[in-house]
Structure 1
């Protein structure tokens, strides 16, 4: 049996897919450990997991609300992911030395894992929880692309192996993409071995209380799920309010669950038309949902499409415009502009998606591609094969093995 170390950031959307893969590997008899923020991992990977604590910022709450586009990307890498790499590197080093993994599985943007692995000579695979990095989205922005290249090179010279030449965001051995090419479209060249495995949807912790009676009320109306994820609370107050207004204007034929972790709409409540809650059992809800309105976060989009649910997408920043473009390109949803979306525009998008059957048909087509890709089972198989190959080809003992 092999030993796998997962290196992840303190962001739920980056942890959930690989936690499903880790559970699959554990079920096959392999040993699994984690390196990352102990508080976040304690919430996300369950009691009893082996966790090597790493320092670093807990989340992205400090990011200015107004940042969009290139400014948001530079903040994300310059003020979050790069400092996270510096902070996590000592903890990841300890994890590798003490746990002795045969393979390190590194989140694509948590480059401390790649840097430490290459410095210590331990093979690693990349976990790509969003397909945006594969899209060549910076091809038309050479100065920004060069800025990011220089930043990653600087990290490598301080924390990794300066002689290495591959892009830190892609393992030279294996990159797992939690999507399919049917959604992402063709990828740009030069990323090494890439395998599309589809979404990895493992079990989530059950919620102590949720109003399933409200959800399952047999009133014949279509149900919308409205969410902006967990890191857009401050930016989303206006948008959520307009979504609620649009739903209320269509109360004869639809109602909505609104995820409101920041309390932008006031205290959680439920009336005939709208239920608001700080958190919801999203995966369980999606099988009952007719449409999802969201920020085009990769996990929300893939979870909706896994269930064949079409979308209204309002990207805010980061990878979201790329994912939104994928949704509209395959015909599985409609895009609205986040900053300009009022109740009338959101309502018109809802009407179009719910009244035109082509959107649901496209969502079901992507769902089939996801299910055929295999998810956590396929991903675990690729990691097993790589670990076996690397172990067979490695003569000296790994750190922690001897």
Structure 2
């Protein structure tokens, strides 16, 4: 079977999907990866090598900044985007039997292109928006309404209960019941397949000598606001210094801000760290709430302090807190003392954060393998229908 997979170049989207591409190939399928460049991002050679024999095609581009600007601009921007035609043309040219689309609002024009192409497709999510009840998305409603109007006009299914797109064939949510609980909207065909973030090469691994400098006599706090949202030096320094105030050892991923932050000498920093490896050692993770980071922290059974900065991150913050896997602070409420208090709470064994995370481990599973099984099954059903 020939399967297309469409996502962006962003780490938070490509990282969890590389294992899916490889699981599909391991099952004997041809895979075509259609990559949309986000903010000019490209696919480096190291990452390309992790994709094996998959065909890779760069298809159009998107910019992230408009999605934090005036919501009223989103609809006109999508309507004028060439991405719909570019994706439709790419799907027709590569001729897959089935396509799996990253259901990211930024890629709404790509979804419209898939619908126009006539290629059958399924949806997959790289955040919890696809199962989040709309009342938990109040800060995103104006954006959601623009996207929903654009997509429904072009024949794409739209869930008004979650303000997210749907496929009539297959909807895959990489998450677990312990995280999303009873509030998750799954009765319209969304299937939970386990968490992303399992072991396996992703092509962005780096060495971090700081691991050898950890003071094992102190709790370890890891701070990272991801690869897009880290550039908030005042907030980042306040968070780091709040963690330092507890007496913990701190590791921080700070991009190119290390000199500007002027941190104490025993704070271990790097532009980018091997996150999964650090999380296995950490006692607390302070994160912006990107879903890839949240999933990896759950897999490592590391309690989280989530400080959501934009887009889907408040959704992850809400579910982390309600699941008892951590706590959350609004950026406006961040102070050194507030962070220190939150970290102290998370380190308290009597609060059972780590116990709840450990109890969730049997649910984590291999979401890549399960996704591949569902995609293959959907494709085979379509083939049988065509042959009848």
Same fold (TM over 0.5): yes
> Residue 129 of structure 1: SS of its match in structure 2?
coil
Q: TM-score, normalised on structure 2?
A: 0.85
Q: Matches of residues 207-226 of structure 1 in structure 2 within 5 Å?
A: 207-215=205-213, 217=214, 219-226=216-223
> Residue 17 of structure 2: SS of its match in structure 1?
helix
Aligned to 1:203: 201
2:369 to 356, 367, 377: 377
Aligned to 2:101: 106
Aligned to 1:351: 344
1:170 to 156, 166, 169: 166
Aligned to 2:55: 50
Structure 1's 238 and 21: CA in aligned 2 closer, same or farther, altered over 3 A? same
Contact in 1 for aligned 2:89/2:117 (Cα 8 Å):
no
Cα distance, 1:147 vs. partner?
Answer: 6.7
> Residue 286 of structure 2: SS of its match in structure 1?
strand
Residue 386 of structure 1 pairs with residue 353 of structure 2: no
Structure 2: runs of 5 or more not aligned: none
Cα distance, 1:249 vs. partner?
Answer: 2.5
Aligned to 1:364: 358
The aligned length equals 373
> Residue 16 of structure 1: SS of its match in structure 2?
helix
Structure 1's 302 and 364: CA in aligned 2 closer, same or farther, altered over 3 A? same
Cα distance, 1:207 vs. partner?
Answer: 4.0
Distance 1:184 1:302 in 2: 12
Aligned to 1:400: none
2:82 to 80, 87, 91: 87
Distance 1:155 1:280 in 2: 38
Structure 1's 113 and 151: CA in aligned 2 closer, same or farther, altered over 3 A? closer
Runs of 4+ off more than 6 Å: 267-270
Cα distance, 1:218 vs. partner?
Answer: 5.3
Aligned to 2:132: 135
Distance 1:31 1:210 in 2: 35
Distance 2:262 2:362 in 1: 35
Structure 1's 108 and 191: CA in aligned 2 closer, same or farther, altered over 3 A? farther
Distance 1:274 1:170 in 2: 45
Structure 1: runs of 5 or more not aligned: 397-402
Structure 1's 267 and 27: CA in aligned 2 closer, same or farther, altered over 3 A? farther
Q: Which moved more, 1:109-118 or 1:128-137?
A: 109-118
Structure 1's 354 and 323: CA in aligned 2 closer, same or farther, altered over 3 A? same
Distance 1:31 1:270 in 2: 51
Aligned to 2:144: 148
Distance 1:221 1:118 in 2: 54
2:306 to 298, 309, 313: 313
Residue 260 of structure 1 pairs with residue 246 of structure 2: no
Distance 1:363 1:76 in 2: 41
Structure 1's 189 and 255: CA in aligned 2 closer, same or farther, altered over 3 A? closer
Residue 237 of structure 1 pairs with residue 237 of structure 2: no
Aligned to 1:292: 285
Contact in 2 for aligned 1:37/1:54 (Cα 8 Å):
yes
Q: TM-score, normalised on structure 1?
A: 0.82
> Residue 132 of structure 1: SS of its match in structure 2?
coil
Residue 183 of structure 1 pairs with residue 176 of structure 2: no
Distance 1:53 1:277 in 2: 30
Aligned to 2:113: 116
Aligned to 1:399: none
Structure 1's 262 and 132: CA in aligned 2 closer, same or farther, altered over 3 A? farther
Structure 1's 88 and 240: CA in aligned 2 closer, same or farther, altered over 3 A? same
Structure 1's 76 and 214: CA in aligned 2 closer, same or farther, altered over 3 A? farther
Could you list the per-position Cα deviations for residues 21-78 of structure 1 after superposition, in whole angstroms to 9, with x for gaps in the alignment? 1111111221111112366451385146422222223x525766xx7xxx6xx38955
Q: What is the RMSD of the two structures over their aligned residues, measured on CA atoms?
A: 3.1
